[in-house]
C-alpha cells in the first residue's frame, strides 16, 4: 500500500513539472517559389565501357529545385523550405496556417490537410513594418 502511494506521488509530481506544449502562432502563406537547391549528376560510364574503353567521360547534370514558401505573420515574414526534400507536401497558398518554432525548425499545420505537423527549415526572417521601407521588401528571390 505504501509503495503504491509513493509511485502515485511520483507520477503526480512529474505531471506537475511537465512542460506544456508551446502555443501555435498563426500566419498566412503568401507565395511559393521553386528555387535551385543543388545539382544531380549521373555518369554515363558502364562497367563494360570502362573495360573496353568505349565510354565517353560525359556527365549528365540536372539542376534540383526545392519549394520555398513565404509565410507572413503579424510581425515577421518567414521564408521556409520543407525538411523532407524527397517527399514535400504541397501547401495551399493564401490559407491561414498554425506554426510553432522549435529550435532550428518550424512545425507547420494547415487546416484541411493531414492533422499533423510538417517540419520546415527557416531560410530567412524579415521583420514586418507598415512604413515605406516595408513596401520595398524583396519577396521574390529572382528580382
| Residue 70 pLDDT exceeds 60 | yes
What is the reported pLDDT for 28?
93
Global pTM reads 0.63
C-alpha 143/C-alpha 126 separation (Å) is 17
Q: What are the structural domain ranges in the chain?
A: 18-135
pLDDT in tens, 42-68: 766 666 556 666 555 667 777 778 889
Handedness of CA 107, 113, 114, 115 (dihedral sign): positive
What is the reported pLDDT for 77?
94
Structure-block grid coordinates of residue 6: 509513493
Radius of gyration of the chain (CA): 24
Amino acid at each position: 500500500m505504501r509503495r503504491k502511494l509513493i509511485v502515485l506521488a511520483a507520477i503526480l509530481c512529474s505531471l506537475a513539472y511537465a512542460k506544456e506544449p508551446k502555443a501555435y502562432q498563426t500566419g498566412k502563406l503568401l507565395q511559393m517559389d521553386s528555387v535551385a537547391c543543388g545539382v544531380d549528376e549521373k555518369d554515363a560510364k558502364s562497367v563494360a565501357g570502362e573495360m573496353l574503353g568505349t565510354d565517353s567521360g560525359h556527365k549528365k547534370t540536372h539542376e534540383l529545385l526545392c519549394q520555398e514558401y513565404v509565410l507572413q505573420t503579424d510581425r515577421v515574414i518567414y521564408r521556409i523550405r520543407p525538411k523532407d526534400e524527397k517527399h514535400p507536401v504541397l501547401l495551399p497558398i493564401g490559407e491561414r496556417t498554425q506554426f510553432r518554432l522549435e529550435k532550428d525548425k518550424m512545425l507547420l499545420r494547415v487546416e484541411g490537410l493531414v492533422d499533423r505537423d510538417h517540419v520546415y527549415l527557416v531560410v530567412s526572417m524579415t521583420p514586418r513594418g507598415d512604413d515605406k521601407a516595408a513596401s520595398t521588401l524583396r519577396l521574390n528571390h529572382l528580382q
